[in-house]
Amino acid sequence: MELFETLAYYFQFPAVRYALIVGVLVALCSSLLGVTLVLKRFSFIGDGLSHVAFGAMAVATLTGGILTQFKPVLDSTNNMIIIMPITIVAAVLLLRTGKNAKVKGDAAIAMISVGALALGYLLMNLSVFPKSSNISGDVCSTLFGSLSILTLTQTEVNICIAVSVVVIAVFILFYNKIFSVTFDEDFARATDSKAGAYNLLIAIIIAVIIVISMNLVGSLLISALIIFPALSAMRVLKSFKAVTICSACLSVFCATLGILVSILFSTPVGSTIVAVDIAAFGVFCLIGAVKGGSKA
Amino acid sequence: MAQLTCSDLTLGYEGQKILSHLSFSVNKGDYLCILGENGSGKTTLMKTILGLRKPMSGTISVGDGLSRTEIGYLPQQTSIQRDFPASVREIVISGFQSRLGFRPFYNKTEKKMAEQNMELMGISHLKKRCYRELSGGQQQRVLLARALCATQKMLLLDEPVAGLDPKVTEEMYELIARLNRERGITVMMISHDIEAAMQYATHILHIGKEIFFGTRTKYLQYVAEKRKEGKHGII
């Protein structure tokens, strides 16, 4: 009873309500493409791209800082204009190179990820921050998303809702094409001249999801949101549709639970959600092993 | 007019030629076997025909009502991910992808045709099963059913019997031959299996240091001549 009263008390604050809405939407969107990414052996693209987004954010802060000199820009909607295109370009480059690249998938992701992180941090330190001396604090919250979800503004929430609706709609409309391209890219490209465009589309959706997710869990934990629900669902289910639906539901459930727990016990939001995801993965592994179906 | 004509193709990787001056054509209803040693460029040729990579020079043209995206493709088994969670039905119907265009979902006709193709391949009872749990032969039938969804005209098969046991291999060859005979589907097959090639193919394309293209009977003469000349290494 006491728990519910505490929750009811917290939900009086718009910030908490916003956090829950955004959290659930982001979890839903990121889980949708998780299956595709895991199967394309791009599990770490979330990590790589989020570091790119972090680097882009540093650039955005730097340019913003120069422009307004003594007003360090923390308005993330402005930053979004810079972050989004850079991340999308990185995603397209990473996914496009595919099998024929000189630098293979995992190495390319590692390179981009570490490079962007280092340069981003370097820029953060160089940038014009006369008032804000708490650089490491800023960096920490960017990486782990500890606070930003509770400081969302109405506009940011609206943007997030709009983007999520678009992402979900695109995913449903292109579901069959995404399946073909994921299952057998050669076959898809051989029989359909537009398969390349679908790959591009996947890359763009991923980039958008990652930039949106940065507000919730921060750069470092985005990968978890993308891969855990998919991996959990794959332990137990056998068809692509079932796996996709299950991972979406699971992701929403874990995000909701994680946010509620983090409010009640004042734990960091991002880490709590991931902890719940890990627990769910454990449960699904057990179920899979009991069913004896998958090779656990 | 030929369905597919390759003229003076040069194939290779990153500036290195592996095959040059390759010319051949395939007519409707032909059964062409592509033979050659490992590394002679068989799979590269197939990928070039499918439009997955560009030839270094030369042209590939289609005719007789065939379009480039109407070629059904059965990839080498290794290129498919074995841990992919997908049901047989989902995979078979994905062969219709190119017919979708801007339509997001498959319609009734396509669903029905997918059922028929599964029936034809004798995998209807497996349609709800997970692809990764099937045996090698069953998996190949699933992919063949998918290729049939993508085409009514031409099938490209990349070592369709690799890794299958003799009995299943025989069934697979019979299935392909039946599609060729009864439905008039043109078959192009990469193979190591010369015996089977001699049994089923109408035409042979042998690639390697020397290129041979012609009917099966001509190929037998050609091989016999080479034997006389003492060039045993040809096959």
| A285 vs A266, residue with greater confidence | A285
Q: How far apart are CA A176 and CA A174, in angstroms?
A: 6
Q: How far apart are CA A88 and CA A111, in angstroms?
A: 17
Identify the band that residue A220 occupies on the pLDDT scale cut at 50, 70 and 90: low
- The answer on pLDDT for A285 being more than 90 is yes
The pLDDT tens digits of the residues spanning B44-88 come to 888 888 888 888 888 888 887 788 778 888 887 665 666 788 899
Which structural domain, as residue segments, surrounds residue A183? 2-291
| Contact in structure between B56 and B17 (CB atoms under 8 Å) | yes
Q: What is the pLDDT of residue A133?
A: 52
Q: Give B 17-56 residues with CB within 8 A of chain A.
A: 47, 50-52
- Say how many CA atoms lie within 13 Å of B169 toward its Cβ: 13
Q: Would you say residue A109 lies in a domain?
A: yes
The minimum CA-CA distance between B127 and chain A, rounded to whole Å, is 11
Query: Which residue among B75, B106, B128 places its CB closest to the CB of A184?
Result: B75
Q: Does A158 touch chain B (CB under 8 A)?
A: no
Q: Would you say residue A205 lies in a domain?
A: yes
Mapping DSSP onto H, E and C, the string for A118-184 reads HHHHHHHHHCCCCCCCCHHHHHHHHHHCCCHHHHCCHHHHHHHHHHHHHHHHHHHHCHHHHHHHHHC
C-alpha dihedral, B131 to B133 to B137 to B142, nearest 10°: -10
Q: Would you say residue A113 lies in a domain?
A: yes
Q: What is the pLDDT of residue A73?
A: 42
The pLDDT tens digits of the residues spanning A115-125 come to 888 888 887 77
Q: Would you say residue A47 lies in a domain?
A: yes
Query: Which residue among B47, B69, B79 places its CB closest to the CB of A193?
Result: B69
The minimum CA-CA distance between B37 and chain A, rounded to whole Å, is 23
What does the block give as tokens for A259?
């946010």
Counting one residue from chain A and one from chain B, the pairs whose CB atoms sit within 8 A come to: 100
Nearest residue of A to residue B158, measured between CA atoms: A187
What does the block give as tokens for A223?
């990968």
Nearest residue of A to residue B149, measured between CA atoms: A191
Yes or no, beta carbons of A39 and B130 under 8 Å apart: no
CATH number of the domain bearing residue A49: 1.10.3470.10
- Helix (H) or strand (E) segment spanning residue A209: helix A195-217
The pLDDT tens digits of the residues spanning B124-175 come to 899 888 888 888 888 889 999 999 998 888 999 988 888 888 888 998 999 9
Q: Does A197 touch chain B (CB under 8 A)?
A: no
Query: Which residue among B73, B79, B105 places its CB closest to the CB of A191?
Result: B73
Query: Which residue among A186, A195, A239 places its CB closest to the CB of B86?
Result: A239
What does the block give as tokens for A7?
């929750």
Q: Does A191 touch chain B (CB under 8 A)?
A: yes
CB atoms within 10 A of CB B112: 10
Residue A198: closest CA among A85, A108, A95:
A95
Chain B contacts of A179, Cβ < 8 Å?
A: 86, 90, 94
Q: Would you say residue A218 lies in a domain?
A: yes
Chain A contacts of B130, Cβ < 8 Å?
A: 238-239, 293
Mean per-residue pLDDT over chain B, rounded:
85
Q: Would you say residue A49 lies in a domain?
A: yes
Q: How far apart are CA B116 and CA B133, in angstroms?
A: 22
Mapping DSSP onto H, E and C, the string for chain B reads CCCEEEEEEEEEECCEEEEEEEEEEECCCCEEEEECCCCCCHHHHHHHHHCCCCCCEEEEEECCCCCHHHEEEECCHHHCCCCCCCEHHHHHHHHHHHHHCCCCCCCHHHHHHHHHHHHHCCCHHHCCCEHHHCCHHHHHHHHHHHHHHHCCCEEEEECCCCCCCHHHHHHHHHHHHHHHHHHCCEEEEECCCHHHHHHHCCEEEECCCCCEEEEHHHHHHHHHHHHHCCCHHHC
- Helix (H) or strand (E) segment spanning residue A293: none
Q: What is the pLDDT of residue A200?
A: 86
Residue A182: closest CA among A43, A32, A45, A38:
A38
Q: Does A44 touch chain B (CB under 8 A)?
A: no
Angle in degrees, CA A114, A92, A115, rounded to 5: 10
| A138 vs B110, residue with greater confidence | B110
Nearest residue of B to residue A184, measured between CA atoms: B80
Residue A24: closest CA among A220, A160, A218, A172:
A160
Which residue type occupies A68?
T
Instruction: Output the CA–CA distances (angstroms, integers) from residue A215 to A27, A119, A151, A159, A222, in the order listed.
Output: 12, 21, 10, 12, 10
Chain B contacts of A242, Cβ < 8 Å?
A: 85
Whole-prediction pTM: 0.83
How many residues in total does chain B contain? 235
In percent, the amount of chain A with pLDDT more than 90 equals 17
Nearest residue of B to residue A40, measured between CA atoms: B81
- The answer on pLDDT for B233 being more than 60 is no
Q: What is the pLDDT of residue A294?
A: 45
Yes or no, beta carbons of A240 and B69 under 8 Å apart: no
Chain A contacts of B88, Cβ < 8 Å?
A: none
Q: Does A236 touch chain B (CB under 8 A)?
A: no
A266 phi and psi angles, rounded to 5 deg? 40, 55
Yes or no, beta carbons of B79 and A188 under 8 Å apart: no
The minimum CA-CA distance between A8 and chain B, rounded to whole Å, is 41
Q: How far apart are CA A239 and CA B21, in angstroms?
A: 46
Q: First and final CA of chain A: distance in angstroms?
A: 40
Q: Would you say residue A74 lies in a domain?
A: yes
Between helix A269-291 and helix A240-264 the angle, nearest 10°, is 140
**Beta-strand pair B71-74/B154-158:** parallel
The pLDDT tens digits of the residues spanning A148-187 come to 566 677 877 888 889 899 999 999 999 999 898 888 888 8
Q: What is the pLDDT of residue A232?
A: 93
Nearest residue of A to residue B151, measured between CA atoms: A191
Mean pLDDT, rounded, for A129-136 = 54
Region label for B102, one of left (φ > 0), alpha (ψ between -120 and 50) or beta (otherwise): alpha
What does the block give as tokens for B166?
């003799």
Count of domains observed in chain A: 1
Yes or no, beta carbons of B86 and A183 under 8 Å apart: yes
What does the block give as tokens for B100?
């979708």
Which of A217-221, A282-286, B16-20, B68-72 comes out lowest in average pLDDT? Answer: A217-221
The pLDDT tens digits of the residues spanning A50-108 come to 788 878 877 777 776 555 544 444 454 556 677 788 888 888 887 776 555 566 667 77
Identify the band that residue A141 occupies on the pLDDT scale cut at 50, 70 and 90: low
CB atoms within 10 A of CB A77: 10
Mean pLDDT, rounded, for A16-38 = 86
Instruction: Output the CA–CA distances (angstroms, integers) from residue A148 to A144, A266, A278, B60, in the order listed.
Output: 9, 14, 23, 57
Nearest residue of B to residue A99, measured between CA atoms: B79
Instruction: Output the CA–CA distances (angstroms, integers) from residue B52 to A192, A196, A273, B223, in the order listed.
Output: 11, 11, 42, 32
| Contact in structure between A274 and A224 (CB atoms under 8 Å) | yes
- The answer on pLDDT for A42 being more than 80 is no
Chain-centre distance for alpha carbon A201: 16
Q: Does A175 touch chain B (CB under 8 A)?
A: yes
Chain A contacts of B72, Cβ < 8 Å?
A: 191
Q: How far apart are CA A63 and CA A73, in angstroms?
A: 9
- Say how many CA atoms lie within 13 Å of B28 toward its Cβ: 10
